[in-house]
A and B are shown apart, each in its own frame.
Chain A
Amino acid sequence: MANENVGKEKQYGMSRRELLGSAVAAGAFTIIPSYVLGESVSGKKPPSEKLNIATIGVGGMGGNNTRKCADAGENIVALCDVDEKLPGTVRVFNEYPDAKKYKDFRKMLEEMKNIDAVIVATPDHTHTVAAMMAMKMGKHVYVQKPLTRTVYEARKLTETARQYKVASQMGNQGHSGEGIRLMCEWIWDGAIGSVREVHAWTNRPVWAQGIDRPKETPPIPEGFDWDLWLGPAPERPYNPAYHPFAWRAWVDFGGGALADMACHILDPAFWALKLKYPISVEACTSTRMSGEGWGKVGVRETYPQASIVRYKFPARGKMPEVKINWYDGGLMPARPEDLEPGRQMGDEDGGVLFVGDKGKIMCGCYGMNPRLIPESKMEAYKRPAKSLPRIKDGIDGHEKSWIEACKGGPAASSNFEYSGPFTETVVMGNLAMLNPYKVLEWDGENMKFTNDETANEFVNPPYRAGWTL
């Protein structure tokens, strides 16, 4: 694999970074753990020692990530959450009586000198500040998907992880699974020929989008630090419309259905088709009428209830230009003619359909259950040898893959060299959603649209006073 990638590097004009990302993800370095190489990595422990792990944001997915690390035998030394009374927080806090509890991650990182690694599972808008501080202190980071809310933040986190040589992992656990590897191997085997068209979809949002900012200002629940929750985001009064969980809908805090699910669903496309930055993006979005005159609801405040985002990627080596179409909020691509009647498209969370010039492959969310369609083609297909190294325990081993990286093993499966550019591409789709009906031309390396200044405003919107990267 390593040789193959090196060969392709020049051919595809891939940067060293990409090469590193893909080769590392492919496990080429398994035999030479990075600590053996004597890199000046602060805090890489040998496999025999336990990591001291802290988690920021424990009420949601953070609880699961923490549990996986504890089950793997690591020490959970500190837990941080801005809402200590939230049932999810209380439960996780109680699970780890010995861990020190914090509300402010800054205080935690300053006080607890023995933290080796940090899990960040806060809302999207605080991923970056938390992960950045940890990395600059030489700590390894596991950051929930989407890695960041903005393109610029993803770039900065990727650069910082590289600079500080910390182990990194984005929480797109499907990337550790069997399905995504099969997709890559089959597509690279030519199972469906050249791919010029991909359709991906999700059932999200399963929370309200296309809504206006609430006018009520209920009191802040006891035990909840709203100011800290806001972090670098612009100030606004507390409302349960944002916390808990519903923050994803709001442009100031989350990345909507796209950022939430494309980090899972588009992952097989990004890897198998060796994508990086698109050359253009175009979106159209559902509108909602207020019923008062021709007024529309929720414009630029939340993401729309439903959208279609159309990305175009340039040719990569022998792979031709490809269009990736994203559908959410109930919208779906056309049902392929060769899909047997009654068969579900993808699964309940969503799916991806690769359209090649010699066939089609479809899978569910997380790269699950990849199949050539129709099924007769799947049955007739002679599968290639499994060339990509597997992650132990697959999807369930995603945290473990990071833990091993923290201890000098190969880079984690979805380390930032891969997941950083991937996140940039996913969240730039939101810029199109906020500026629909135009073909926005993207200069990925320079993180800007070359034909629309308004759309550039969201590449790196300013932080609230007191917060910096």
Chain B
Amino acid sequence: MKSNGISRRDFVAGTASAIAGFTILPRFVLGGAGFKPPSEKLNIAAVGIGGQGKENIKACEGENIVALCDVDWRYAGQVFQNHPNAKKYKDFRKMLDEVKDIDAVVVATPDHTHAVIAMTAIKMGKHVYVQKPLTWSVEEAHKLTEAARQAKVATQMGNQEHSGEDIRVLCELVWSGAIGNVHEAYAWTDRPVWPQGIGRPVTAPVMPEGLDWDTWLGPAPVRPYHPAYHPFTWRGWMDFGTGALGDMGCHKIDYVFWALKLGHPTSVEAYVSSRVVKMWEKVENKETYPDAEIVRYEFPARGDMPPVKLTWFDGGLKPPRPAELEKERNLGANGIILIGDKGTIVEGRLVPESRMKDYKKPTQSIPRITGTHEQNWIDACKGGPPACSNFEYAGPLTETVLLGNVAIRTGKRIEWDGPNMKVTNIPEANELLGRKYREGWTL
């Protein structure tokens, strides 16, 4: 393992999710705190239920939904109605203090409050399901992963495609040598579909009734409420979201990360669209992420896999169409391309399609997830094998994705010492790995 430069953490994640070797040795037998036997129902609480949380809760309805928390009760209304027996909260801290029988917590708030909520829950020994991206910052992802390991709780990041068939087929295809050695990879999204590259609003509209803005802000710096941030459009704002990369990178880069067994990159470089309002004056925007981004990651050799360059595009930018792709086929809104020395894969299939049809399907080496991504986590909470996108995997994935934002905000190529969590060539870039929390908030 050492020769590959892969840490124990990577190794555990890889074998656990790839082989499911722990099935025969349920976790609760190992003495982890709070693992219920499969026959019992979990008591689940959710924080942030107006958006994706609503879907996650629906998938958990076979368990007891005991408490629901949202800073904005206008958006929580319907979910509250669906679960009349659940206790209702605005402040997750109060909820976790008061409701003693919570086994597991779903976190689906904006990115900037994932870490503080999940950390509080983990430290209380509760299992956590956290929406992607796992955290707002590289440092938070690292700390959450460590804390989950220490507390031995079941974890899952909400990148649900990780439970799917497609990512498994891709891994098996690549691992079977279908395209040989991969030196070049691309991932992209058509996001943002919300405005980015804009300045901070100057108006201060009246706070809507039922919204606890201060708790919404959580550890982020104080600023007045504005509908430009909430609901939904927080993703574009650097203080709250992680942009198109954080949003979709955890889905799309996931495919590349698993199939190519990636760990820490050695360098990250980003170029972004500029914005001009007045002639000859480019707006230096420290408020929102840009309209369009290119992020280039370099990864070292891993075992018998050679070094690989991964390029991310968003905001309308896309990789060049591979020559092998049939003319009538278009690259999708989101996708990946892997270019090997023996062939090319576009969005999970060999191109051209005739090559895919001729290729003898590799044997299934990765266990399939039969239920939902949430159920996969619930099973882990009850002592089953770790969930497929548990933090041992999802933490490093998120760290890598979010390093792209460090490069974007630095504006320079950064060289990364992953094991020591350090940008080695630009000292000030290290300040962007995390941030000083607002007073009253700690991790």
Contacts and interface: CB of A to CB of B under 8 A. Distances in A.
B195 A205 contact: no
Interface in A183-240: 203, 205-210
Interface string B294-328: 10100000000000010101011110110000010
A267 interface: no
B195 A329 contact: no
Interface in A306-343: 306, 308, 310, 327, 329-332, 334-335, 341
B273 A437 contact: no
A420 B257 CA distance: 48
A287 B316 contact: yes
Nearest to B294: A331
A305 B271 contact: no
Interface stretch (A122-130, A156-164, A268-276, A278-286): A278-286
Interface stretch (B9-17, B23-31, B89-97, B275-283): B275-283
Contacts of A206: 276, 279-282
A285 B330 CA distance: 15
B395 interface: no
A439 interface: yes
Contacts of A290: 195
Considering residues A208, A287, A294, which has the most beta carbons from chain B within 10 angstroms of its beta carbon? A287
* Chain A: number of interface residues, binned into ranges: 35 or more
Contact of A286 (B273, B321, B425): B273
Contacts of B274: 203, 305-306, 329-330
Given A287-B291, A335-B413, A439-B327, A327 B271 contact: yes
Given A206-B279, A288-B291, A341-B425, A329 B320 contact: no
A437 B317 CA distance: 9
A282 B320 CA distance: 8
A330 B330 contact: no
A203 B192 CA distance: 23
Contact of B290 (A208, A209, A330, A332): A330
Considering residues B281, B291, B309, B413, which has the most beta carbons from chain A within 10 angstroms of its beta carbon? B291
A172 B197 CA distance: 33
Contacts of B193: 289, 294
B331 interface: yes
A42 interface: no
Considering residues B190, B317, B320, which has the most beta carbons from chain A within 10 angstroms of its beta carbon? B317
Contact of B195 (A289, A308, A332): A289
Given A284-B316, A331-B317, A439-B327, A305 B292 contact: yes
A38 interface: no
Overall SS of chain A's interface: loop
A87 interface: no
B320 A289 contact: no
Contacts of B275: 305
B272 interface: yes
Interface residues of B, number: 39
B405 interface: no
B269 A335 contact: yes
Contacts of A289: 192-196
A433 to B, nearest CB: 11
Contacts of B290: 330
A282 B319 CA distance: 10
B331 A437 contact: yes
A331 B291 contact: no
A12 interface: no
Considering residues A209, A304, A451, which has the most beta carbons from chain B within 10 angstroms of its beta carbon? A304
A210 to B, nearest CB: 7
Nearest to B309: A334
Contact of B279 (A246, A286, A437, A451): A246
Interface string B231-266: 001000000000000000000000000000000000
A437 B333 CA distance: 11
A13 interface: no
A437 B332 CA distance: 10
Interface in B177-214: 190, 192-197
A304 B233 CA distance: 22
A245 interface: yes
Given A286-B291, A289-B196, A308 B317 contact: yes
Nearest to A308: B317
Contacts of B269: 334-335
Contacts of A7: none
A334 B309 CA distance: 10
A332 B330 CA distance: 24
Contacts of A451: 327
A466 interface: no
Contacts of B280: 206-207
Interface of B: 190, 192-197, 233, 269, 271-277, 279-282, 290-292, 294, 296, 309, 311, 313, 315-318, 320-321, 327, 330-331, 413, 425
26 contacts: A203-B274, A206-B282, A207-B279, A208-B276, A287-B291, A288-B197, A288-B291, A289-B193, A289-B195, A291-B194, A304-B316, A305-B197, A306-B272, A306-B273, A306-B291, A306-B292, A329-B273, A331-B292, A331-B317, A332-B294, A334-B309, A335-B269, A437-B318, A437-B331, A439-B327, A451-B327
Given A203-B282, A330-B272, 14 more contacts: A206-B281, A207-B280, A282-B320, A291-B195, A291-B233, A304-B316, A305-B197, A306-B273, A306-B317, A330-B271, A335-B413, A436-B316, A437-B321, A439-B327
